[in-house]
Amino acid sequence: MTRSTRDDFPAFQVITTRWMDNDIYGHMNNVVHYSLFDTAVNGWLIAEGVLDIHKGDQIGLVVETGCRYFAELAFPDVVHAGIRVAKLGNSSVRYEVGLFRNDERQAAAEGFFVHVYVDAATRRPTPLNSALRAKLESITS
């Protein structure tokens, strides 16, 4: 399995690990990786101005996810989460995220998740709005 490098990702979010992220084995528990994926993507969308979690008409719901682990992460590491879009559909997006420990060049873990964008009120799938689509196209690999 080939590990991605930082050069494989067009966007990044920096996330500080927390004491509670470590498990009894002294490294980050595997479930925390999924939280980091979600935090990285949604944080990036908010920072880019294309997601309003309180008043927006459209939200993304996770329908599929996965992760491959290559190296340990642990508190007090700083995680640099690389983000790219692997597939952009009418109402869905496959995000791929690489988690990089501190200044390391190769990913410690790589994952993906698929968002289906829905109307915030009805929870029915809806086409990506133009601002969101344009921003996602800018990080499509």
Q: Which domains does the chain have, with CATH numbers?
A: 6-137 (3.10.129.10)
What pTM value is reported for the model?
A: 0.95
Q: What is the mean pLDDT of residues 62-86?
A: 97
**Rounded-to-integer distance, Cα 117 and Cα 11, Å:** 21
Residue 116, pLDDT > 80, answer yes
C-alpha pair distances (Å), 84 with each of 13, 87, 97, 131: 11, 9, 7, 17
How buried is residue 44: exposed, middle or buried, by Cβ count under 10 Å (0-12/13-18/19+)?
buried
The residue-averaged pLDDT of 36-64 equals 96
Distances (CA, A) of 47 to 18, 44, 50, 53, 108: 22, 5, 8, 12, 24
- pLDDT at site 19: 96
